[in-house]
Amino acid sequence: MRNLFLLICLCCFSCYLSARSILISTPKTSLLLSAPVDGELKFVYYGAKLSEVDVHTMGETEKSKLLAYPVYGLNCPSEAALAVKHSDGNMTLQLKVVKVDVLQQNKAELTTILLKDKVYPFYVKMCYKAYQDVDMIEIWSEISHQEKNAVVLNQFASAYLPVRRGNVWLSHLYGAWANEGRLVQEPLEPGMKVIKNKDGVRNSHTAHAEVMFSLDGQPQENAGRVIGAALCYSGNYKLRIDTDESDYHHFYAGINEDNSIYSLKKNELFRTPELALTYSDEGLSGTSRNFHRWARLHKLANGTKLRKILLNSWEGVYFGINEERMNQMMTDIASMGGELFVMDDGWFGDKYPRRTDKTSLGDWVVDKRKLPSGIEGLIDAAHQRGIKFGIWIEPEMANTRSELYEKHPDWVLKAPERELVLGRGGTQVVLDLTNPEVQDFIFHIVDNLMAKHPDINYIKWDANMSIMNHGSNYLNKEEQSDLYIAYHRGFESICQRIRLKYPDLTIQACAQGGGRANYGVLPYFDEFWVSDNTDALQRIYMQWGTSYFFPAIAMASHISAAPNHQTFRTIPLKYRIDVAMSGRLGMEIQPKDMTDEEKELCRKAIAEYKEIRPVVQLGDIYRLVSPYDKLGVASLMYTSPEKDKAVFYWWKLEHFYNQHLPRVKMAGLAPNAEYRICELNRIDKQPLDFEGKIFSGAYLMANGLELPANHLVDRNKKNDYSSRVLYLEKVK
């Protein structure tokens, strides 16, 4: 009888779920919705994973009042996710649940909930993709209709999430060129908080489409409940947080509708970009670890393949490329143990040789005056030195002084009856990616390079201009407001074609620095250039913020010259190395200007980075002391998933006599394991006291290690910078 009673209870529970509640879960998180057929789709819960008992009890006690996808027209004072104008002029929506489907995908479960307006043949399909191997739920909407004429979409967010009011803090990123990825943390107060982008081409210089909500007060790195959200879109976006008179902060995320009102044709499907949601009770770093695992496994091209150590030619020679210099740089990086050489801007142009940024974009032919042996000669030279070869392109752009522009002036974005607004160098323009002919041209830039030179291993894809001219020669007059959206559809189509044909080609997303650090781009790119600013001290701040949402394997971080080419700050090589080793290590320097001693230090660092590379690029991040806390140091560490290896970074940020710096506790180790300590990149005359010594994980996480504030070096080598990299290996 008892077994029969339990069976009846389980059957009742299943009926209850199918009738009202939709439970969407990952290994450690749950999203609960109420979806009665012919009723409204409502939000109930998002957070730590629910048990079946909790779901049942919540269904009886939590009376949902909030729509899961608020629409405009019948609750006008509130913010909306979706607002339309029907073909008859009616501006209201009222959506009811039609059906719910669940589809098992590879390592994910896709739940779709079809909604229909109660009067009009207007449909919204809400899609929820719950990964079963990482704690991430992607949400997006698919909008369509069967009305006689077009329906105007005035607002079209991907998703909405209510966050219960309390002492909630927001963490997000802001910045500018050469100062990207800066972290700001602030309490959410009554009113509207808007984070947006209107660049048109790049969307992460001035702000980012990713945020974290700390639910337990001022954010902590390794404790507290945190919700993370990332809009997976390469174009203009808008994040809105409306704190009204209710008990909730109302979070909306989607494409920025400003100057992008969309006319939706009958039977056309409008798919919004995914909003990725994650939750952790292990603080900001715990939420970052969720983002990083999801990125490596599902959202980053070749996300589990270790990245090569490279030398890029840009800061070494700028436009002064020639065969002799390229061969010399390849010889130098090979001698230091590097694995890849990337020839940057300045290698192309026939009628208009690329000697400055004023000409040649669009004319992707080798300048034989600079490179008489061509690209094939450089590839052969790289192979002789045992390294790979890569190349720079900027395929979405042109210069008005180029053969391409002379032949196809109609291929650039330009407002009719207006003079061109010109970008970099006073001659740069953006190609019209809404045009299929232009899409084909851009695809063939890559395809032709790879067909002629299949041994090209790496492409640096740059984009150095915003959309400054709103106008398309391809779109008709009724479609001009579609420009921003159509541009990024064209961009995505090009990227899909390239990846389909060249899945193993490494491609970096560079966009005047860090303008394309977003999850709309990264499925097609292996990494991004964090910033054109290579100053090591400023990079600590930028890479710290960027690490909130993006893994080290995607963050290109290079050793550059001193004085730095952007800030003119003189930072010792050891410090520059230690900062660069916390991301994907590379070099951005002219090696022939280095001393033999400096080359040897880099050679040693590259060899040691190869040993720790799996931990840094594939491991779990634990941020320990933030540079934004102004405690004089910054510190973070990576641990292997098995917790048998870890890499600890410590950088001093300021220098005073009688300075008192905090002793940094470690995190992410196995408490009962024992770890041997080894310092990497050591320049001191004698080892640290704990070099080669063994400590328990519990001790290191409770106490940390006492690090000297300065390096013990000869007087003529002393300076005001110090940094440490420690490698921890579990004693078996």
Structural domains for the chain: 2-299 (2.70.98.60), 310-618 (3.20.20.70), 624-730 (2.60.40.1180)
pLDDT at 17 over 80: no
- 60 pLDDT tier (thresholds 50, 70, 90): confident
Q: Which one, of 339, 313, 386, lies nearest residue 606 by Cα?
A: 339
pLDDT given at position 62: 80
Phi/psi of residue 268, each to 5°? -80, 140
Q: What's the average model confidence in pLDDT over 463-486?
A: 97
Banded model confidence at residue 15, pLDDT cuts 50, 70, 90: very low
CB 660: neighbour CB atoms within 10 A? 8
- pLDDT at res. 18: 43
- Containing 587, the helix (H) or strand (E) segment is strand 584-588
Tens digit of each residue's pLDDT (9 = 90 or more) over 647-684 = 999 999 999 999 999 999 999 999 999 999 999 999 99
Question: Quick one: how many helices (H) and strands (E) in the chain?
Answer: 13, 36
Asked whether the predicted pLDDT for residue 8 surpasses 50, the reply is: no
Digit-coded pLDDT (tens) for 406-418: 999 999 999 999 9
pLDDT at 273 over 70: yes
Residue of 103, 32, 98 lying closest to 68 (CA atoms):
32
Does the annotation mark 684 as catalytic?
no
Q: In this prediction, what percent of the chain has a pLDDT beyond 90?
A: 95
Rounded to an integer, the average pLDDT of 31-59 is 95
Residue 618, classed as helix, strand or coil, is: helix
Q: Active site residue: 532, 535, 578, 620, which one? A: 532
CA–CA dist 285, 549 (Å, integer): 10
Give the pLDDT mean for 416-441. 97
For 42, residues 6+ apart whose C-beta sits below 8 A from its C-beta are 33, 34, 35, 64, 65, 66, 67, 68
Question: Does the active-site annotation cover 432?
Answer: no
pLDDT of the residue at 75: 81
- pLDDT over threshold 50, residue 12: no
- The confidence band for 65, taking pLDDT boundaries of 50, 70 and 90, is confident
Catalytic, out of 117, 462, 526, 535: 462
**pTM, to two decimals:** 0.96
pLDDT at residue 6, rounded to an integer = 41
pLDDT confidence of residue 124: 98
Pairing of strands 620-625, 723-730: unpaired
Q: What is the per-residue pLDDT for 712?
A: 97
Mean pLDDT over residues 263-272, rounded? 98
